[in-house]
Amino acid sequence: MNVHFFHLMPYADIDMAQIDKHQSAWVTLPNSNFDPANGRLLYERYLRELELADELGFDGVCVNEHHQTAYGLMPAPNIIAAALARSTKRAKICVLGRALPLINNPIMLAEEFAMLDHLSGGRIVAGFVRGIGTEYFSNASNPTFSHERLYEAHDLILRAWTQTGPFSYRGKHYQFDYVNLWPRPLQAPHPPVWIPSQGSMETVVWAAAKQRRYTYLQTFSPYPQALSAFRAYREVAAKEGYEPQPSQMGWAVPTYVADTDAEAKRDLAVHIEDFFNRLIRFPSLEMRMPPGYSSIRSTKQLMAAKFRARENATIDKLMEQGIILCGSPKTVRDRILRNQGEMGFGHLLAMLQIGTQPAAQTERSMRLFASEVMPALKAHDDTIAYRAAAE
Amino acid sequence: MRETTIDVRGASVRAFEAGSGPLVLYLHGADGPRDNPLLHALAASHRVLMPEMPGFGRAPLPDWMMSVADAALFGLDLVDAVGGRPLDVVGYCVGGWIAAEMAIRDPHAFATMSLIAPMGVQSPSDLGFDPFAVSPDEALRAQFHDAAKAEAEIAARADEEIDILLQNRTGLARLGWTPRFANLQLPHWLHRVRARTLLLWGDNDRYAPADCSAIFAREIAGAQVESYAACGHALPWERGADAAGRITSFLAGARR
C-alpha cells in the first residue's frame, strides 16, 4: 500500500462563533476573520508538517484547492507544490486537485504542472476535479458548464502534455491556435492523473474508462458509500474488459492516533466535531449544489441524503460510519487493513491534521502513525489481501 | 390555460394559451411557464400564448443554448413559427430580457413590447441579494413586496415538482450566472428597438431593481414607464390586474 499525508491547510485560528454567526466558513464568512499575522505562521507550520511527512517516509504529500474559505488556505495549491518541490526530497507531491472548470486557460495549468514536474524531479501527481459548488459562486464560473469544461480542459491538458506542438485546439469552451508546451513534463508520457471525488457516479465511470484508468480517490465518505464507489469502479473496469490495479483506487480519510483508543478519542473530539459541523458547513444547500452543477437526478439524491445527514456530527457517529479513523495505532492499523481487504484500494491518504488540531497534537499523531501504523501498511500486499477478502 | 404545442423548425415546443382575440406572445419569467393573475386578466381581451423556453419547465437545457443570444434567436424562430409579424410581446423577468434581445436583433419582429420587470441590464446599485444562494422558498419570498402574498404563493406552489424547480434554476443560471442577470452590451444596442415599448416595474424589485428601468427608458426611443409602489419583482402576482389593464390600453393605443 502507498501511504500519503494529506493536508487541507485550514485557518486553524478561526473563531467558531464567527462561523455560527455567519452560518458558514465558505464564501460569505468575512475575511476580517483572517488575521494575516496568524496566517503567515500557519503557512510556515503547515509546510513544516508536509516536510515532516516526507522525512517520516510517507509516499506522498497531498494538497488541494479551495477558494474563499476558512476550511483551507490553498486557493492556489500549485504554489504550495512549488515550495514543497524544493523542500521535500522523496515523496510524491500530489495536487488533489485543480478545479479545471474554473480556469479559462487550461494551457497555463498544463505549463504549471510541467514546471512543477521538473522542479520536483518528476514527483508531481496532477489531480483534476470540478470543484465543489461554492467555488462556482466565489469564482463566478457558470455551474451549468461544469461537466463539459472539466472534460474539455482535461483533454486539452493531456494533449498539451503528450502531443508534439505546435497544434491547434478547437473546443466548445477553449480555443487555442497555438499549443506548443515549453517545457514538456519530465514524467513520460505525463504526470499521473488522480481524480478525487465524493462518489459521483459520472466521475467514477469517467475515471475508470479503459483509455484513462485514472486513480480514483474517495474522500470524506461513510464506509458503505466508499465501498460502493470502489465497487462501481471495478464494475466499469470489468465492462471495459480490464482488471483494475489497487493503485487505481485511493481512500482519503481523517486519521488520528494516540497511545490508547480513549486518549485518541478524547484528544480529537472537539476538533473533528468542529470540522464536520462548522468548517464543512456551507451557507446553504443551494450554494453546495448550484443549478446545473450535477444532473437533476443526482442533485435530488444529494439533497435528500448526504448533506442534511451530516448535520450535528459527533465523534462517535463519525467513527461508527467509518468517515474517520481514530484510536490507538493497533486499532487504526487493523481497521485500515480490514478496509483495504474489503475495498481493494492501493493508496491511503491519511488526513493527519484536521481543522483546529494544534501543532503538537498533529506532530505526535504523525510520528506515531509513521512508526506504528505505516510499516504494516507498506508491507501489506493489496492485491492478495483484496482477493482473499473477496473469497 | 390550455396546453398546446408550437412547431419550431420541426421541434415541438410546449406552450400554454388562454383567451381569444388579438394574439399576445408572453415570454415567461425565471420560474418557468406559470399561470398568473396578469395572464388571466390579459386573456379577457386577447389570445395569450406562452411558449416554454428551452431550459425551463419540462424543457431540458439544449447544448446549443450557450447564452441569452441563443435564447433570443430561438425566440425569433418562435415568432416565425407563430406567424403574424409584427407581434405584440409581453416579457416578464428573464422573458423580458429575452424579448429585448430579440428586438435589437430583429427590430421588425414586434409591433409592441411590454417589459415587466425585465432582467438584462445591470443595476447601478449592488443587488445585495443572490437568488441562486437561497432556497426556493426564500427566493420566492424575495420576489414579493407583500409578505402575506408571498406566503400564499409559496403554499400554492408547495406541490410543484422538484424537477421543474431545478430545471428553471438551471435555465436561468445558463443565461444569467455571470454577469448576474445581465448582458453588459444590451444598453449599447437598445437604440435598435423599433417596437413601441412599455416598461412596467415594481418599486421594490430585488431581482431587477427599479433603477434599471431608467436605463431601458433612456435607450429605447419613446418608451413609457409605469411604476407600481409597494410592489416587488412578482408584479404579475402582486399587481396583475392593474398591469394587465395598463398593457391592454397600451396595446389599444398602439393599434390606433
Per-residue HEC secondary structure of A163-186 comes to: CCCCEEEECCCCEEEEECCCCCCC
Q: At what angle do helices A296-304 and B162-176 cross, to 10 degrees?
A: 120
Nearest to A144 among B130, B135, B173 (CB): B173
Instruction: Flag whether residue B64 sits within 8 Å of chain A, measured between CB atoms.
Output: no
Residue A220: HSE in the Cβ half-sphere, 13 Å Cα cutoff: 15
Alpha-carbon span B217 to B232, nearest angstrom: 19
User: Could you give the ipTM of this predicted complex?
Assistant: 0.96
Residues of A in contact with B177 (CB under 8 A): 136, 140-144
Residues of B in contact with A136 (CB under 8 A): 177
Q: Is B27 in a helix, a strand, or coil?
A: strand
B154-176: string of b/e by CB count within 10 Å (b at 16+)?
eeeeeeeeeebbbbbbbbbbbbb
Instruction: Flag whether residue B172 sits within 8 Å of chain A, measured between CB atoms.
Output: yes
Structure confidence by residue, pLDDT tens digits, B175-206 = 999 999 999 999 999 999 999 999 999 999 99
Read off the DSSP letter of residue B61. Answer: P
Q: Which of residues 120-149 of B touch A (CB under 8 A)?
A: 130, 132-135
The pLDDT value given to residue A202: 87
Nearest to B167 among A142, A290, A296 (CB): A296
Closest to A333 measured CA to CA, from A387, A305, A367, A369: A369
Q: Which three cell numbers stand for residue B20?
A: 381569444
The pLDDT value given to residue A123: 98
One-letter amino acid at A193 equals V
Instruction: Say what the pTM is.
Output: 0.96
CA A64 to chain centre: 6
Structure confidence by residue, pLDDT tens digits, A309-341 = 556 899 999 999 999 999 999 999 999 999 999
Residues of A in contact with B130 (CB under 8 A): 137
A contact set with B (CB within 8 A) = 136-137, 140-144, 283-287, 290-292, 296, 299-300, 303
Q: What are phi and psi of A341, to 5 degrees?
A: -60, -40
Alpha-carbon span B189 to B211, nearest angstrom: 19
Residues of A in contact with B175 (CB under 8 A): none
Report the DSSP pairing between strands A175-179 and A167-170: antiparallel
Q: What is the pLDDT along chain A (391 residues), one digit of tens a residue?
A: 999 999 999 999 999 999 999 999 999 999 999 999 999 999 999 999 999 999 999 999 999 999 999 999 999 999 999 999 999 999 999 999 999 999 999 999 999 999 999 999 999 999 999 999 999 999 999 999 999 999 999 999 999 999 999 999 999 999 999 999 999 999 999 999 999 998 888 899 999 999 999 999 999 889 999 999 999 999 999 999 999 999 999 999 999 999 999 999 999 999 999 999 999 988 888 999 999 999 888 888 777 765 555 568 999 999 999 999 999 999 999 999 999 999 999 999 999 999 999 999 999 999 999 999 999 999 999 888 888 887 7
Structure confidence by residue, pLDDT tens digits, A352-387 = 999 999 999 999 999 999 999 999 999 999 888 888
Alpha-carbon span A214 to B13, nearest angstrom: 41
Bridge partner list, A322:
none
A107-140: string of b/e by CB count within 10 Å (b at 16+)?
bebbbbbbbbbebbeebbbbbbbbbbbbbbbbbe
Angle at A229 between CA A328 and CA A386, to 5 degrees: 60
Q: Which three cell numbers stand for residue A169?
A: 485546439
| Cβ contact B178–A140 (<8 Å) | yes
